[in-house]
Structure 1
Amino acid sequence: MMVNYDVLIVGGGAAGFFTAINVAENNSKLKIAILERGKEMLTKVKISGGGRCNVTHACFVPNELVKFYPRGEKELKGPFHQFCSGDTIEWFEKHGVELKIEDDGRMFPVSDSSQTIIDCFVSATKKLGIEVLTGQSVQSIFKGDGYWKVETNQQSYKCGKLVMTTGSNPKIWELMQTLGHSVVQPVPSLFTFNIKDARIKNLMGVSALASVKVKDSKLKASGPLLITHWGMSGPGILRLSAWGARELAAKNYHFTLQVNWLHEMDFESAMETLKELKEEHAKKLVLKFCPFEFPKRLWESLLMASGIAVETKWADVSKKQLSDLTNQLTNGQFQVNGKSTFKEEFVTAGGIDLKEINFKTMESKVHENLYFAGEILNIDAITGGFNFQNAWTGGFLVAKAITEA
């Protein structure tokens, strides 16, 4: 038996729920259902931001906001002029969820719990009569004359408008390819670097503001760098992994990472600072006098890497040692051998080719009445609430297009 809906949304995540709620609020007469393959919905929302849900980012200018998207920057400009971070804040406030801004611009619910967002979505779907059907694994999608047919492991569904919000789901990408869509080959984004190196071996938990660069490439980033037991992580590394997702995949995650522990200070300036220190504090221990804002344990490790013993006085540091130390500080080279996923917040670079989407409506250019929102598209961002903002904006535009059609 076939079950009929006006709007069928495949994928019970952030984009799926946001789309469904906005469609129902724009037109209460439409019969809407969300199909979710898992037993639970909104699982990624639950774990995001360490269980606090990083809803969006306090960047309110569309032309600035797009710069946080390694893929999707050009295409999202128009959509963000329609629905931006400020609109997200307003939307959640209207639905009883107050957000707060942290020092780094990330925005969370005041409750500091992702459950607040989940409760907001679940209660809205109940209030609006949206059916949420779990355990529905899509087997096939068929385009009829003026309708869509979706077969799951449990049921056959028919709808006038079909919305795909399945995130990074390879099976759905395959189904979309059979319908004539192109998929940009997915590769991981937002990952940390595996590095085994004596200089950082016992420094787990040490953090410094640094600039990082992939040797022999144009890839570079900066931000806090965190030393972990498997290598390097932190915002600077994650940014580099996002912007370099394709290039680093092509290198099979084996490359040389150049680290400037002094952020933007160059070799000459650092050398000058160290020479002055050598003159002024000749009789003092090198270990005790570090001229930079710098974790002491890292300073000690880089001294040793430069051949300077901890009991050495500044007067006894040779020219070569000074040069080696400056090099370690401004251009430390580390061999990266592989990657690790950043927490459970797995983000993929890849998905439906953006050339096949109308970014005014988020409708497919290949098929009428087929819409996309969220990470199913070849759009991804660095951490900080940007991936969710893409989901909200896409969902808003889909809902608008469906209800104004």
Structure 2
Amino acid sequence: MKKELVPAQTVAVIGGGAAGFFGAIACAEANPQLTVFLLEKTGKTLGKVRISGGGRCNVTHACESAAQLVQHYPRGGRQLKEAFRQFGTDETVAWFARRGVQLKTEADGRMFPVTDSSETVARALEDAARQAGVQVLLNTSAEAIELLPEGGFELTLSGAGASSLPPLRVAKLLIATGGHPKSGGYDWLRALGHSIAEPVPSLFTFNVPASPLRELPGLSVPLARVQLAGEKLQYEGPVLVTHWGLSGPAVLKLSAWGARRLSELQYTGTALINWLPVHTDETLRAWLQEYRHQNGKKIIGANPILGLPQRLWRTLATEAGVGAETRWNELPAKAQSKLLELLLRTPLGVQGKTTHKDEFVTCGGIPLSEVDLKTMQSRRVPGLHFAGEVLDVDGITGGFNFQAAWTTGFLAGRAMANK
């Protein structure tokens, strides 16, 4: 790096994740005359891209329109509707296709590279950045950011990669540092004049230490309804029983929509699981009566009903007080009522959450009201842009958080390229 840099010709991106890379690439490609630096505080970039989707990288989600896309964001989707019109699912698919990454759509709408390898996506981003001339500085942080009187910013760098570097002066700055589980990570943005929506975790699983299902790890039910007792929060979808409690898309989506309320509850409460959400109390009671009449001699625990997994059915029957050899025509009314209750409302005491630290997603960050959503530029500090999870926007599981990163990164990068 040169000792003296002309701010008008230099921009910087802080954060080497999906949003940061996309912003840096968009900026450098739109204006090759610029010097674009990308600062990453760790020794590797695109960490979340590489581990997401079990190492496959859920790049985006198949949505026909921006109106459909915004429905999957508990926070920020409505405000980003126009941004998604500018750069949405179709544009993301085309962007990666031009760089040799073909995407495929799975039955649930999630889109992955045909290679089923996140490295394909990471390499495409790294290659695009290199070809565009982006200068990636690893192990480099911005220790301090100073607004310059003449416009632009001076970054005081720290870290092993910055030991011999002078302060970096840039005309424009993109913040793409991701979400911070602790609000202290945003102190320097407050110092620049921004307020912060308090960050709290989103997309997490439930810890259930005293679960009657604890002997069923790995059991999956394709459609169940999860509700928090005493709350309106509920979601339907696949549910996975784990050795620590509950997971699966229904739980993850519930945690996203209820992120702030669950934080207020300190992640404790009772989750009610409806294993047969197509039924109500009345319809299930009627169905059981008819089934019992026609199958009176069948041993209850050995014959699951309505497609329920054998292990789950046997556990629920035991919890209802049904003996191992009890037949339907021998079942007491009290045990039948208990069984019906468990089928529709199995109570599980939630005591905390579990989040994969590398896949951490937060709600909170820079309020979208403080950002020009056409350019992702701060309304309070000219030349300061934001992209990705540093913004108060987050999606449910299924590729939506990456799509928000691509969209906001692209718009921010293109805007920074303009004089």
Smaller-chain TM-score bracket = over 0.9
1:222 matched to which residue of 2? 236
1:280 matched to which residue of 2? 294
Matching residue within 87, 93, 98 for 1:89: 93
Cα distance, 1:343 vs. partner? Answer: 6.8
SS in 1 for 2:235: strand
Matching residue within 151, 154, 176 for 1:149: 154
Cα distance, 1:126 vs. partner? Answer: 1.8
Cα distance, 1:342 vs. partner? Answer: 4.1
CA distance in 2, matches of 1:344, 1:160: 32
CA distance in 1, matches of 2:294, 2:24: 68
Per-residue CA deviations over 1:329-363 (Å, capped at 9, x if unaligned) read 00111111111114731111111112111111111
1:14 matched to which residue of 2? 18
Does residue 53 (structure 1) correspond to residue 57 (structure 2)? The answer is: yes
CA distance in 2, matches of 1:196, 1:6: 53
Matching residue within 165, 184, 187 for 2:176: 165
Supply the AA of the counterpart residue of 2:135: E
Task: Give the root-mean-square deviation of aligned CA atoms.
Answer: 1.4
Point out where structure 1 has 5 or more consecutive residues left out of the alignment.
none
Cα distance, 1:172 vs. partner? Answer: 4.8
CA contact (8 A) 2:239 2:251 kept: yes
Matching residue within 294, 315, 323 for 1:309: 323
CA distance in 1, matches of 2:281, 2:153: 62
Mark the CA change 1:350 to 1:310 in structure 2 (over 3 Å): closer, same or farther: same
CA distance in 2, matches of 1:339, 1:308: 32
Mark the CA change 1:2 to 1:351 in structure 2 (over 3 Å): closer, same or farther: farther
Equivalenced residues, count: 405
CA distance in 1, matches of 2:61, 2:211: 37
CA distance in 1, matches of 2:185, 2:35: 23
SS in 1 for 2:388: coil
CA distance in 1, matches of 2:385, 2:357: 30
CA distance in 2, matches of 1:264, 1:176: 48
SS in 2 for 1:375: helix
Supply the AA of the counterpart residue of 1:188: P
1:193 matched to which residue of 2? 206
CA distance in 1, matches of 2:170, 2:337: 70
Moved more, 336-345 or 243-252: 336-345
TM-score (norm 2): 0.94
1:32 matched to which residue of 2? 36
Mark the CA change 1:21 to 1:299 in structure 2 (over 3 Å): closer, same or farther: same
Point out where structure 2 has 5 or more consecutive residues left out of the alignment.
none
Mark the CA change 1:183 to 1:317 in structure 2 (over 3 Å): closer, same or farther: same
CA distance in 2, matches of 1:7, 1:196: 50
Per-residue CA deviations over 1:152-211 (Å, capped at 9, x if unaligned) read 112311111111111024555111001110111111111111113352021111111210
Supply the AA of the counterpart residue of 1:159: V
Per-residue CA deviations over 1:242-292 (Å, capped at 9, x if unaligned) read 111110111111101111011231111111111111101111211233331
2:120 matched to which residue of 1? 116
SS in 1 for 2:20: helix
CA distance in 2, matches of 1:317, 1:158: 78
CA contact (8 A) 1:277 1:291 kept: no
| Segments of 4+ moved more than 6 angstroms | none
Matching residue within 130, 133, 157 for 1:129: 133
CA contact (8 A) 1:187 1:249 kept: yes
